Amino acid sequence: MRSRSETCSGVLVGTAVGDSLGLPAEGMSRHRIQALWHGVWRHRLVFGHGLVSDDTEHAALVALCLAKCRDDSAQFQRALSWKLRLWFACLPPGVGLATARACIKMWLGFGPRSGVFSAGNGPAMRAAIIGAFFADDRDRRQGFVTASTQLTHTDPKANWASLAIAECAALEAREAFTVRACREQLDAISDATEWRELVSKIFDALQSAASVDEFAASIGQRDAVTGYSFHSVPVAIYSWLRHRPNIEQALMSSLNCGGDTDSVGAIVGGIAGAALGPNGFPQNWVEPICDWPFGVKQLQRMGADLGGPRAAPPMLIWPLIFLRNMATLLIVIFHGFRRVFPPYGTRRNASQLTN
């Protein structure tokens, strides 16, 4: 049986893997992705290497706060509020609108009332680590997820979606996962008709062995998956359920759907990490991640700190993070222009066909 250190490290590493693989394709339709890369997923943001985005950064910030405030959800919420303030002050590229508005409210002194009415998937991308950490304590798991969610998003749908990710990660962390148990945990999250219907669609599709593409189309995401939590979270959960425990197939099938690929990939990777641990991912997906201070080694250390007694968390040097963000922004802008055009090999092959 895995230790809590291994499980938490697995969640953070898995989040980074899915995030960095999906980041170069963020915002692209499934058809554009297929035309460019033909279903081959590898790190391609910086000369064959990958960087992480806010999905991994938020999960890491939650891990740091859990290491310090594991007994009191209100204290945890205050600590996370300050981490998010400082994170936002470093001008992270690609921050979601709802999260940005919430961070501005935090700086204005709104405190726990900083959340805005939104059902974006921001809280869901940082929920798996809470689920894994409190795998054996449902009340604290749900209390901490709700505390994390309401800092930035107050729409109940955002909280239900975040709880769903935490419950999936918790089942995997305590090695108690079955399809039936997963259905029961998801159904128990809310009695709301819209939520129950969404859960039914997930498991009806699973019973009929629908592909991830087909499931995404069944909930209106035919061309790309949006950042709305009732779109991205069901696709992520279904991808894992459909291909569990084959992480390669689970991640590739979710990323092939297009849209908010980094967030969907991060969520799938986080759930998978709770099941597989930090060494369960293909090394050609892990080793090319070259980031700081949220690189693989740093994330593994954060996970190890969560599994043991209280320890001094790694220091975040915020001025250096600001410089890192400026460099990342330039890379993302360059990549955004670059992906407008077909890869060199694609253009050359097309030329050969017409000559």
Give the model confidence (pLDDT) of 97-147 as tens digits. Answer: 999 999 999 999 998 889 999 999 999 999 999 999 999 999 999 999 999
CATH architecture of 4-354: Orthogonal Bundle (1.10)
pLDDT of residue 252: 97
- Specify burial of residue 259 (Cβ count, 10 A radius: 0-12, 13-18, 19+): buried
Tokens of 76: 């945890």
Beta-ladder partners of 50: 289
pLDDT at 346 > cutoff 80: no
The model's pLDDT over 292-339, given as tens digits with 9 standing for 90+, comes to 999 999 999 999 888 776 556 677 999 999 999 999 999 988 887 777
* Position 351 confidence tier, pLDDT thresholds 50, 70, 90: very low
pLDDT at 353 > cutoff 70: no
Q: Mean pLDDT throughout 172-199?
A: 97
Tokens of 64: 């740091």
Is residue 202 within 8 Å of 196, Cβ to Cβ? no
Mean pLDDT of the chain: 92
Q: Which residues, 6+ apart, have CB-to-CB distance to 87 below 8 Å?
A: 57, 58, 61, 103, 321
Q: Which residues, 6+ apart, have CB-to-CB distance to 19 below 8 Å?
A: 52, 53, 55, 56, 262, 263, 265, 266, 269
pLDDT of residue 303: 93
Give backbone dihedrals phi and psi of 153, rounded to 5 degrees, phi first.
Answer: -135, 125
pLDDT at 349 > cutoff 50: no
Sole residue written with tokens 């290491």: 67
* Position 345 confidence tier, pLDDT thresholds 50, 70, 90: very low
The model's pLDDT over 68-103, given as tens digits with 9 standing for 90+, comes to 999 999 999 999 999 999 999 999 998 999 999 999
pTM of the shown model: 0.94
Q: Can you give the residue ranges of every domain in the chain?
A: 4-354
Sole residue written with tokens 């250390």: 301
Q: Mean pLDDT throughout 178-193?
A: 97
Tokens of 344: 């060199």
Which spans in 208-317 are helix H? 212-218, 229-243, 247-255, 261-276, 283-286, 296-307
